[in-house]
Structure 1
């Protein structure tokens, strides 16, 4: 009888594979040696971005992107082009991207940056003020304008008799300042001192493109010492403010010859030698033990065979032959019953790729529970609660920030919703839909979905939630209209792809730092190819659910249109969809809006802080959006527009196409059939005839970097 060596070989192979993986695992020391290559320039510490994880940077504010081979930084709501960088002097020259091709941007933001990290005082900066929407008739007849014509530039804002100007902020005189008091808006933009004394529009454009210089002050001295000791500058993965010097022999708080090992770095990563040697020792010990056990068992078998008589040996062979198939059958049954299974056709479909040796569902990466437990710090950083699970912040080993949704229960129904969301999201590709990175196996300890992390909360947070007060000045009408358009575009894309979302609400509309939309939460979504509706018991969120859906249990794409109508009303009113503290007739926002609109009381519904009463253009646009919301909220689904029609209408409103031939405000009138029409009224204020696409609200927007 030949010895059977396959158990020993299997164990050895596993240990060898583990050893190879450990050797190939990239360490921070290796990763942080990689530079960001963009626009022919190389960027190292304190910057991070493509190819350099965040822990290789000095602070979150130093994130670089590379758009069309142009390196960019983002401070607040403004993108900045990187014109020049000098690591030896720790300086960077940047220029505003929104003023690169035009001096008439769509949104107006002051130039701001984090003064704790960047310093511009030592480089001779000077501010140039750009002033927009100045009425030429503010100057008395016969008196020439104190502002030279060379400082005037034109912006095609459709408002007729308005001018725009620029001037060197430090050289403004009272006569000119008095003129600019009557202008609609202005922003300040720093430029290099040598370019500040410009007197023509072409000189202004050149000065803005030349940009201005900043110096960064983030661990400059200690990073220089780390470099000289042969290390790589970086930061602690739990706090990007804490400097770490990544070295070949470990991670240290100052230099590579410093014995003071940083808390996380020393415990989480060490040198290849420190990892490999213990594994080699363990592998040798395990192989020796297994080999010893194997040899002992073979000796015992040989002794037993010598002691057995021919008769007993024959009986033993017969018993073994008769019992072998039963034992095999029993063993197989036990193995099968030990694996949890979910009897569903979808389950077998998702398992196809696993049976071929691939770790994915419908193309989505499959994570282990242990990976995500580490990434979320044992699910300690909760982002919010949903209808089906809690969402946690996490950070993967490759540096990606993620939102991990943890489903409440691991039962048949939850598995179906879990697979449904994975199947739908992996088949979609739209810039305003949240991206699914992956999930756990359906047989995992818990059902977890891994999404891209969207850092700026939800639309509900900004309208009437935890961020409403802190961002009210930034959440202007123009931002809200953009949110409506992007959300509608994402839903129209879903409908074109044969998908009904079924849970459209402001809590499921996420926002990034630039207030760009990411529609999320597809647990209730359904595919409806080749059918006109989906029959199912009503599900969704109170206040958003289609009333016809309650009556006949028939779900159509027009159900999403109704829910989006509620979102539109929230955007113009900043009120919650359901609020039991309101009058009983106004608890449901959709009902409240329909009544206010029918009674010509739109001013009682609209948020007072978004320019409805002070800006004629904003008043017109809000009135038209309210008309669209009224159409979306019709009781009969056939009276509602499609999402494609909604997108086209909103874009027309934004481009001022629907009211380009008339300057009067459209009031909403409801005829006997319940439909809406507009009629001309006298403007409520002198400003109502002004059309200014440059100004998104009644005031200047600014934010800290």
Structure 2
């Protein structure tokens, strides 16, 4: 069946979209789900924050998604231009001369991501599904590299799942043409001065060199760490201290090999994983070569896929039902975005129900870090909190917040100050939050 498509350069407008719902947010902006009236199904729309001019990276991402279009890459339907009703009355905004927002219109993945699946199941995935996911990600990445493109941020949050838990590569915000295929004059400024974008737990040791320019071996290393996550169902490196993790990675340390299971293809996938995360980029296999291993292992376990998918669907529904029952009669839970750059992953969590007296400083810092997107959306008494923080917030930052038009923008600016101020400032912010917004903690 042919899928709908747009005419070139013809963005979708507000007249064709309805039932907008925010499903995730990050440093770049927000992702919404909306129903396309004519197509009759939901789409995902990635928008930059209000007041932010469309950046070249958004359109580079669109170009990458178009060039990398295949079964294992998230489908891009086109672009959007308009006034999202969730941001205020579109008519008033248009009359007020506010510029229209622009964004990308993509396929909506109801199953979420690999990360959200890990969070729901709390256990390693069934082996046939492990084999299929490992192969599908390798297929998508090989296709990307064959088009002289890179992903740049491969991790569980950026591997989305369709209704039958097939993998779709997503979030190409850090994608680029391979360095060998791009002239220096075309590189963004951050590439000329050194590259440290992405998620540090999935980045190779050479990427932490200030003079590093990304090449395909970067993605292959990330795939090795991703394979570890798929095999174990966990996040690598429980330590959340970037400096310690980076030092360990540069020293050759990797996550411990998952506990061996007696399944066809286990040794082959573990060996591939270890080859991919080799300290020496030249020793890492190309995705084209990796496909020989992943395809063979998947073929050995293909017959178990229907039963594995059925079991995961039951567990998935059970986890969702359990969460609904646990929150019945309570305040609506946060929709929490798993934090890192442009990723589009989300999960449902209740606010931490611990009084301020019982919260240690590390617990307060953890709360402030984990619930960043939710607090940015919900805190309204930003300047009052800033006053309580006193000299912990620099005068320039305070003036910038005071000049901001909305609480949302003020909170984004305040979080920048919290990040630069360290754990002491974050703990003080938590105390101020508990005093002025007790309902949020």
Aligned to 1:526: 176
SS of the residue corresponding to residue 554 of structure 1 reads: coil
How many residues were matched structurally?
288
Change (3 A) 1:407 1:376: farther
Residue-by-residue CA offset, 1:273-324 (whole Å, 9 max, x unaligned): xxxxxxxxxxxxxxxxxxxxxxxxxxxxxxxxxxxxxxxxxxxxxxxxxxxx
Give the secondary structure class of the aligned counterpart of 2:46: strand
TM-score (normalizing by structure 1)? 0.37
Q: Does 1:477 align with 2:148?
A: no
SS of the counterpart of 1:515?
coil
Tell me the distance in 2 between the aligned counterparts of 1:480 and 1:624. 13
User: Which residue of the partner structure matches residue 501 of structure 1?
Assistant: 151
SS of residue in 2 equivalent to 1:571: helix
| Residue 633 of structure 1, aligned match among 259, 262, 277 | 277
- Determine the structure 2 residue equivalent to 1:145: none
- Flag the 1:700–1:390 CA change in 2: closer, same or farther, 3 A: closer
Q: Does 1:538 align with 2:185?
A: no
The structure-2 alpha-carbon separation of the partners of 1:699 and 1:454, relative to structure 1 and needing over 3 Å to count, comes to: closer
Which of 6, 11, 15 is matched with 1:366 structurally?
Answer: 11
Q: Are 1:446 and 2:101 counterparts?
A: yes
- Answer whether contact 2:207 2:214 (CA < 8 A) is retained: yes
What residue is the counterpart of 1:383 in the other structure? 23
Which of 193, 203, 214 aligns to 1:555? It is 214
Pick aligned residue for 1:649 from 265, 283, 293: 293
How far the C-alpha of 1:391 sits from its partner, in A, is 1.3
Q: Is the 8 A contact 1:577 1:588 kept in 2?
A: no
Q: Distance in 2 between matches of 1:540 and 1:382?
A: 24
Deviation at 1:448, TM superposition (A): 2.0
Cα offsets for 1:206-249 (capped at 9, x unmatched):
xxxxxxxxxxxxxxxxxxxxxxxxxxxxxxxxxxxxxxxxxxxx
1:428 Cα offset (Å)? 3.4
Aligned residue in 1 for 2:323: none
Larger RCO: Structure 1 or Structure 2 (Cα < 8 Å, ≥ 6 residues apart)? 2
Match of 1:406 among 35, 47, 65: 47
Cα distance in 2, alignment partners of residues 458 and 699 from structure 1? 17
Q: Secondary structure at the match of 2:55?
A: helix
Q: Is 2:107 aligned against 1:462? A: no
Give the one of 560, 563, 575 matched to 2:234.
Answer: 575
Mapped to 2, the partners of 1:520 and 1:563 lie a distance apart of: 14
**1:18-46, Cα deviation, whole Å (9 max, x unpaired):** xxxxxxxxxxxxxxxxxxxxxxxxxxxxx
Q: Secondary structure at the match of 1:393?
A: strand
Residue 75 of structure 2 corresponds to 435
CA distance in 1, matches of 2:42, 2:216: 33
Task: Report Cα offsets for 1:177-207 as digits up to 9, x if no partner.
Answer: xxxxxxxxxxxxxxxxxxxxxxxxxxxxxxx
Residues 162-311 of structure 1: pairs in structure 2 closer than 5 A: none
In the alignment, the residues of structure 1 paired with residue 160 and residue 248 of structure 2 have an alpha-carbon distance, to the nearest angstrom, of 21
Q: Which residue of 1 aligns with 2:267?
A: 623
Is 1:488 the counterpart of 2:146? The answer is no
- Measured in 2, the distance between the counterparts of 1:581 and 1:426 equals 35
Whether contact under 8 Å (2:178, 2:214) holds in the other structure is no
Aligned residues of 1:509 and 1:519 also touching (Cα < 8 A): yes
| In structure 2, distance between residues paired with 1:495 and 1:629 | 18
Q: Structure 2 length normalisation: TM-score?
A: 0.57
Residue 592 of structure 1 deviates from its aligned partner by: 11
**What CA distance in whole angstroms lies between the structure 2 residues aligned with 1:454 and 1:633?**
29
Q: Quickly say closer, same or farther: Cα 1:595–1:546, change in 2 above 3 A.
A: closer
- Residues in 1 aligned to 2:178 and 2:62: alpha-carbon distance in whole angstroms: 16
8 Å CA contact retained: 2:236, 2:255: no
Q: Matched residues in 2 for 1:425 and 1:596: separation?
A: 31
CA contact (8 A) 1:488 1:646 kept: yes
Q: Structure 2: 5+ residue runs without aligned partners? A: 83-97, 318-441
Contact 2:127 2:263 in 1 (8 A): no
Task: Name the CA distance, whole Å, in 2 between partners of 1:489 and 1:498.
Answer: 15
Residues of 2 paired with 1:513 and 1:588: CA distance?
39
Change (3 A) 1:700 1:405: closer
CA distance in 2, matches of 1:515, 1:365: 31
How much has 1:578 moved relative to structure 2?
Answer: 4.5
The aligned counterpart of 1:19 is none
Over 3 Å counting, the alpha-carbon distance change for 1:405 and 1:697 in structure 2 is closer
> Is the strand fraction higher in 1 or 2?
1
Shift of 1:426: 2.6
Change over 3 Å in CA distance of 1:576–1:700 after alignment to 2: closer
CA deviation after TM superposition for structure 1 residue 385, in Å: 2.7
Paired residues for 1:41-52 under 5 Å: none
The answer to whether the 8 A contact 1:569-1:629 is kept is yes
If you compute each CA radius of gyration, which structure gives the higher value, 1 or 2? 1
Q: 1:543 to 1:417 in 2, by over 3 A?
A: same
Matched residue SS, 1:449: strand
For 2:297 and 2:164, locate their aligned partners in 1 and report how far apart those are by CA, in whole Å.
21
Structure 1 counterpart SS, 2:271: helix
Is the Cα–Cα contact under 8 Å of residues 33 and 108 in structure 2 kept in the other structure? yes
- Partners in 2 of 1:430 and 1:483 — Cα distance? 15
RMSD value, Cα: 3.8
Whose helix fraction is larger, Structure 1's or Structure 2's?
A: 2
